[in-house]
Amino acid sequence: MDSEKIDNMAPPCANGAAGAEAEKSSILVNVMFFRALDNVSFGTILLVFLLCFKGMLDVLPIPFIQYSYIIPIYMIFSGVMHFPEKGFQLFQYRKSLFRLVWGTIFMLLLSPFLQWWSIDTNSPYLLFNFLLFCISVVFFIISLSNLFNAVAREEGIRWVSRISRLTRFTALYLMMAPLLAFFVTVLLGKCVGQDIFLFVVRLEKWKLIVFLVPVFLTLMMLIQLRYAKYRNLK
């Protein structure tokens, strides 16, 4: 009789242990996800700020101040590495995370070419790698929007899902298309680094703002997703 009672009591205990383990795993996933969001958000904001004032920072008599923009890129890289590999059911999440990780790695490795090309704009090698860096940044934005779209779809956050799709669309047509056009003209020898440099310098402000719309949407997407996930936890 006692053995029967013990057998009857075992399944609830096992279920309770499994439930506690699942809850602990869910908490860990949320902590990692929020940490990743914070690093990517702060890194993106700092990167935009430093690039806006890069011309002023370059003239300061401080060693390696010209490469200060690499710090927020590393923050973004660190944040991407903290995104949990498990905890989401959709296959799109894992596929997008894989692409995001590799896109961020290339973005970090190619980031010094921004400064090197600004020093020698006539070097085809530096120009080629600078354009690859720019393309890796756009690829990062697209991969991040795909990742957030997967998270938003799984958790039913429609507003974030719409922003992520809009971010991906604008990144493709407002950033990737012009960069690929520059890339092709460089490969065909129709354009040199000095031409691109003068084009960027003489670019009207409203055109520059339009070009950077995907970046602003990315920041909005980061903030909205963090707020929505935090609200869902309550």
Mean pLDDT of the chain: 81
Q: Report in angstroms the alpha-carbon separations of 168 from 77, 109, 130, 148, 181.
A: 20, 23, 22, 11, 18
Least Cα distance to 214 among 179, 164, 150, 162 occurs for 164
The residue among 163, 142, 154 whose CA lies nearest residue 222 is 163
- The whole-number average pLDDT for the span 136-162 is 89
Between CA 172 and CA 141 the distance in angstroms is 9
- Amino acid of residue 21: E
What tokens does 101 get?
């990780």
Q: What is the pLDDT of residue 15?
A: 52
Sign of the Cα pseudo-torsion (112, 39, 227, 21, in order): positive
220: number of Cβ within 10 Å: 14
Q: Under a CB-based contact definition with an 8 Å cutoff, are residues 133 and 119 in contact?
A: no
Cα 63 to the center of its chain, rounded Å: 28
The mean per-residue pLDDT over the stretch 78-98 comes to: 81
Q: Compute the distance between CA of residue 184 and CA of residue 75 in angstroms, rounded to an integer.
A: 31
Contacts of 16 (CB under 8 A, 6+ apart): none
Largest CA distance in the chain: 90
Q: What is the DSSP letter of 171?
A: I
What is the reported pTM? 0.83
Write out pLDDT tens, residues 30-41: 778 888 899 999
Whether the pLDDT of residue 6 is over 50: the answer is no
**pLDDT of res. 5:** 46
pLDDT score of 7: 47
- Domain coordinates in residue numbering, the chain: 2-233
| Residues 38-76 pLDDT 10s | 999 999 999 988 888 777 777 777 777 888 999 999 999
